[in-house]
């Protein structure tokens, strides 16, 4: 890494919960609309590789849409910057003094898209359903919800639960009259009914389309239709930008720093939030099998990586540093435990250290140069989505680096649906993926999503966000204690110290880099995109709740 590049990354990453690169110069022609129908229809590509399989169940890991656009939350939380929550189905929220009761006022005169009224009973039903099914209870809701009347609900807890508020308010609400007989874990939802600004118009395996909801409580959105395409992967997405047939995609294109020069109808915008990992099926007790269940193997892989090379070859130097504690750097550096010796994942490989870690754990290098233990070669398979060219390049690069450390890595490409199913069921050894931040700029949420055992499941059963199946009572206890404390309580740090000590030692998710999430969007036909001056949402088309807010803000130029 050159000093100039490193300085640029650090400076760009300095905002509260993410870093931003400014928009490039404004597009000056309107050729982008030629292939994307007309400016009343916005064509989006989320990275879907292979055909869509219909599922608009907002709680399913294999859902293909509906979050935010169809199924709304009580409030919208902007992950891109520190700001007040935006009222949606809720209009006001307030805690009692000790954090055991959260009162929420609901919006009046809202109807579901089948014309049934939205009431507090729907909110109470949604949370009771989530509590009943641990695998979809990713926020760890353990309270009670009471519908006081049609427009007021009260959440009550046995202990203070200040930190759970943003997750509760960021939960999709579903209609009781249709969902009372639905299995939210397993059932596929083909005809979604919500309160959002859009309705499902048409579904085909190659694309599905939303249409504007004329009865939306916030007013019918200006963008009349949104069409989500299924393509063959990142290269096809880049080709679509070049051809002007896609209006918004979040993913790599060649020479992305010069997007506007190469394609005058488009601009590019980058943020750093999502932390790229080699996720492992980590727990033998939960049924995981393979060399990756040995923490020594996970640490050896961690030190085998040349992250500067990965960044250059796979991500066009758009990624940035990452902490093994998963505190977002630099904005959350204050939370990192003093006991953690290595605050940032090393940029260059340390093959001697990787070898020492393996040999101390009983692994011995074979004649073929690959380590083995008890007759098992240190050979691992990484699950990856077909067509995700940046991740494919990253895995290819990591495999070459790991070979130098005596670790054999192979890639297994599959459709997004298959990849998602493997992670959810535990049918994998390694999977390249990204861990995301929570609704507030605080590391608690990522830990609660991905490291809490309640969000895991035995292999063969459907896990929630903790698909690594990490099971550590000390981390669980620390998370439980953190949930009872307010954001400014000094006692929080001791619990972060515990979490950092445990997860750095165990490393169920092997840190790679913090991904530079870059959107390329059509500024010739649409106005209202997020910018440095108005960063009202995290600008990624696959970040569903944020994308839903962006869709509502956009206006066609035609």
Q: Give the pLDDT confidence score for residue 29 in this predicted structure.
A: 30
Round to whole Å and give the CA distance between 294 and 397.
Answer: 22
Q: Give the pLDDT confidence score for residue 35 in this predicted structure.
A: 39
Share of the chain above pLDDT 70, in %: 93
Q: Is the pLDDT of residue 359 over 50?
A: yes
> Minimal CA–CA distance to 194: which of 208, 209, 213?
213
Task: Give the DSSP letter string of 167-215.
Answer: HHHTSPP--HHHHTT--TTT---SS---SSSEEEEEEETTEEEEEE-TT
Radius of gyration for the chain, computed over Cα atoms and rounded to the nearest angstrom = 23
Q: How confident is the model at residue 38 (pLDDT cuts 50, 70, 90)?
A: low
- Residue 94 burial (10 A CB sphere; 0-12, 13-18, 19+): exposed
Domains of the chain: 25-56+190-270+517-556 (3.40.190.10), 75-179 (3.90.76.10), 273-515 (3.10.105.10)
Whether the CB-CB separation of 336 and 500 falls below 8 Å is answered with yes
> Minimal CA–CA distance to 128: which of 68, 179, 166?
179
Q: Give the pLDDT confidence score for residue 9 in this predicted structure.
A: 29
Q: Give the pLDDT confidence score for residue 399 in this predicted structure.
A: 98
Q: Give the pLDDT confidence score for residue 15 in this predicted structure.
A: 31
> Minimal CA–CA distance to 68: which of 489, 422, 548, 400?
548
CB 257: neighbour CB atoms within 10 A? 15
- Helix (H) / strand (E) containing 227: strand 225-229
Q: Give the pLDDT confidence score for residue 19 in this predicted structure.
A: 30
pLDDT in tens, 169-194: 999 999 999 999 999 999 999 999 99
Q: Where are the beta strands (DSSP E) in 368-508?
A: 371-373, 376-377, 379-385, 408-414, 430-435
Residue 32: helix, strand or coil by DSSP?
Answer: helix
pLDDT in tens, 242-282: 999 999 999 888 888 899 999 999 999 988 888 999 999 99
Phi and psi at residue 381, to the nearest 5° = -110, 130
Please identify which residue in the block is written with the tokens 């011995």: 364
Q: How confident is the model at residue 6 (pLDDT cuts 50, 70, 90)?
A: very low
pLDDT in tens, 291-336: 999 999 999 999 999 999 999 999 989 899 999 999 999 989 999 9
Q: Is the pLDDT of residue 13 over 80?
A: no
Round to whole Å and give the CA distance between 501 and 43.
Answer: 45
Whether the CB-CB separation of 458 and 287 falls below 8 Å is answered with yes
Residue 515: helix, strand or coil by DSSP?
Answer: strand
Round to whole Å and give the CA distance between 214 and 176.
Answer: 23
**380: β partners:** 409
Please identify which residue in the block is written with the tokens 């994308």: 547
Can you list the alpha helix ranges (DSSP code H) found in 42-164? 120-132
Please identify which residue in the block is written with the tokens 């992670």: 423
For residues 487 and 521, which has the higher predicted lDDT (pLDDT)?
521
């Amino acid at each position: 890494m050159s000093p100039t590049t490193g300085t640029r990354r650090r400076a760009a990453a300095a905002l509260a919960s993410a870093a931003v690169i400014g928009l490039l110069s404004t597009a000056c022609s309107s050729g982008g609309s030629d292939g994307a129908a007309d400016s009343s229809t916005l064509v989006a590509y989320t990275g879907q590789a292979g055909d869509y399989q219909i599922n608009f169940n907002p709680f399913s890991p294999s859902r293909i849409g509906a979050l935010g656009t169809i199924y709304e939350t009580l409030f919208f939380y902007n992950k891109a910057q520190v700001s007040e929550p935006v009222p949606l189905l809720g209009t006001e929220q307030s805690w009692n003094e000790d954090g055991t009761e959260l009162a929420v006022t609901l919006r009046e005169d809202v109807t579901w898209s089948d014309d049934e009224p939205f009431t507090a009973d729907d909110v109470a039903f949604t949370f009771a359903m989530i509590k009943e099914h641990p695998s979809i209870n990713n926020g760890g809701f353990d309270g009670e919800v009471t519908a006081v009347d049609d427009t007021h609900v009260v959440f009550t807890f046995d202990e203070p639960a200040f930190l759970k508020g943003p997750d509760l308010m960021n939960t999709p609400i579903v209609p009781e009259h249709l969902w009372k007989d639905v299995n939210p874990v397993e059932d596929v939802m083909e005809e979604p009914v919500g309160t959002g600004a859009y309705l499902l118009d048409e579904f085909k395996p190659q694309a599905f389309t939303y249409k504007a909801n004329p009865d939306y409580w916030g007013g019918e959105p200006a963008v009349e239709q949104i069409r989500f395409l299924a393509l063959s992967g990142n290269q096809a997405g880049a080709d679509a930008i070049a051809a002007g047939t896609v209006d918004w995609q979040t993913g790599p294109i060649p020479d992305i720093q010069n997007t506007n020069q190469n394609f005058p109808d488009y601009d590019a915008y980058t943020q750093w939030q999502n932390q790229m990992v080699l996720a492992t099926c980590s727990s033998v007790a939960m049924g995981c099998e393979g060399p990756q269940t040995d923490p020594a193997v996970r640490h050896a892989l961690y030190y085998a990586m040349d992250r500067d090379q990965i960044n250059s070859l796979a991500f066009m130097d758009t990624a940035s540093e990452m902490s093994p504690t998963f505190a977002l750097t630099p904005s959350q550096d204050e939370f990192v435990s003093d006991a953690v010796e290595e605050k940032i994942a090393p940029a260059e490989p340390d093959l001697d250290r990787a070898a020492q870690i393996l040999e101390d754990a009983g692994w011995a290098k074979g004649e073929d140069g690959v380590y083995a233990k008890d007759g098992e070669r240190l050979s691992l398979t990484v699950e990856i989505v077909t067509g995700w060219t940046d991740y494919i390049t990253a895995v290819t690069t990591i495999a070459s680096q790991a070979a130098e450390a005596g670790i054999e890595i192979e890639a297994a490409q599959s459709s997004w649906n298959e990849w998602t199913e493997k992670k959810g069921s535990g049918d994998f050894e390694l999977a390249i993926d990204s861990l995301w931040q929570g609704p507030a700029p605080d590391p608690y949420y990522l830990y609660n999503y991905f490291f809490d055992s309640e969000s895991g499941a035995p292999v063969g059963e459907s896990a929630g966000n903790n698909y690594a199946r990490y099971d550590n009572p000390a981390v669980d206890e620390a998370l439980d204690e953190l949930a009872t404390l307010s954001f400014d309580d000094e006692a929080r740090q001791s619990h972060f110290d515990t979490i950092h000590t445990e997860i750095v030692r165990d490393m169920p998710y092997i840190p790679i880099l913090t991904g530079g999430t870059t959107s390329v969007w059509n500024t010739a036909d649409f106005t209202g995109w997020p910018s440095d001056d108005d960063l009202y949402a995290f600008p990624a088309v696959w970040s569903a709740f944020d994308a839903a807010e962006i869709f509502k803000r956009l206006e066609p130029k035609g």
